[in-house]
Amino acid sequence: MPLTILHSGRFLELVAEGRWEFARRRNATAVVGIVAVTPAGGLLLVEQQRIPVGAVVIELPAGLVGDEQADEDLTRAAARELEEETGWRPASCSVLARGPSSAGLTSEITTLIRAHGLVCVGAGGGVAGENITVREIPLPEVAAWLAARAAAGVLIDHKIHAGLWWLAQEARR
């Protein structure tokens, strides 16, 4: 079936293919979520108000690929986004896994990236208007900290748990 554009906004399009209606990004080729642990053993997380869900959300640092350079590499985008959002620069990055963000709603595919060899080069906080709060949570305390934040009404992005699973696999090697 041919794809029909139902509405086109500045950054998103609502499209239909057969009986399915879904959203797709106009200005990016992919999304990366970054699993980053500081030299002190803290998992880097970001916290910010997210208008679509009407709540504060705690997430892995993340961002768009190809929004600034069309042929941008996933790991290069991850390094750029990690530094922009958290102030930490990785020496290298590697791909962990990829999958749909919400397969019934959007064509978006998120790739989890592991950042290695972090060096703090700034305060982070994102670009103007993002109002990102950077959190560095010691790995042994992450589960309890997330539970306490959830109990306080903060939404927790489930990709954090996927990132923690990948860290556990890395520790077993």
pLDDT in tens, the chain (173 residues): 789 999 999 999 999 999 999 999 998 888 999 999 999 999 999 999 999 999 999 999 999 998 877 788 999 999 999 999 999 999 999 999 999 999 999 999 999 999 999 999 999 988 888 889 999 999 999 999 999 999 999 999 999 999 999 999 999 88
Please check whether residue 2 lies inside any domain of the structure.
no
82 contact partners, CB below 8 Å, separation of at least 6: 34, 36, 44, 61, 88, 89, 90, 115
Give a yes or no: residue 82 inside a domain.
Answer: yes
Indicate whether 66 belongs to any domain.
yes
Residue 154 sits in which domain range? 28-172
53 domain-assigned: yes
Whole-model pTM: value is: 0.93
Residue 27 has a CB neighbour count (10 Å cut-off) of: 11
* CATH code (residue 145): 3.90.79.10
Domain total in the chain: 1
Would you say how long the chain is, in residues? 173
- Report if residue 20 sits inside a domain: no
Evaluate whether residue 3 is within a structural domain.
Answer: no
The answer as to whether 68 is a domain residue is yes
Q: What gap in Å lies between CA 163 and CA 159, rounded to an integer? A: 6
In a domain, 13, yes or no: no
